[in-house]
Structure formats: structure tokens, C-alpha cells
Amino acid sequence: LDLNMPVLDGLAALGKLKSDSKYQSIPVFILTTSTSKEQMAACKKLGCIEYYVKPVKLEDLKQIIEDILDKVA
């Protein structure tokens, strides 16, 4: 989930997902450009599994994808 989305930002979307019992069990990962400690804490408080800052290098993105797959396997 990206925090910088049009119409409904990622924090609001995460809040809606985690407040609805039908979707609470869906694991949510944040992948965004924001390095804000406040946004990271807010996402964790709302129930995201992990918060990742979008990497510049392809190898770093591959590592993030592997980490996500390990956590949902």
C-alpha cells in the first residue's frame, strides 16, 4: 500500500481496511517514498505488517519483495 495515493491516501485506506472485520486479517505492507517517522508509527499503530521506503536500486526492491513473501508464506 502506498501512502501517496490520489483520492484516498494510504493511511486512510489502511484505517478503513483494519476497521472492517471482513478485511482485518489481510496482511498490509506499506511501500512508499515517505521517510516520516510519524507516518511509520501511524501505520504500525493501524496494523501494517511492515513499512518499507521505496528503494532506488533494483536489488533493494528484490530484497523487499523476498522479505514480504517470507512474511506471508
- Interval 21-42: pLDDT, tens: 999 999 999 999 999 999 999 9
Closest CA to 53 of 29, 17, 26, 27: 29
Tell me the backbone φ, ψ of residue 31, rounded to 5 degrees.
Answer: -130, 105
Residue 18 confidence (pLDDT): 96
Q: What length does the chain have?
A: 73
Residue 73 has pLDDT above 90, yes or no: no
C-alpha cell at 7: 483520492
Name beta bridge partners: 52: 31
Closest CA to 4 of 28, 33, 29, 27: 33
Closest CA to 2 of 13, 56, 72, 38: 13
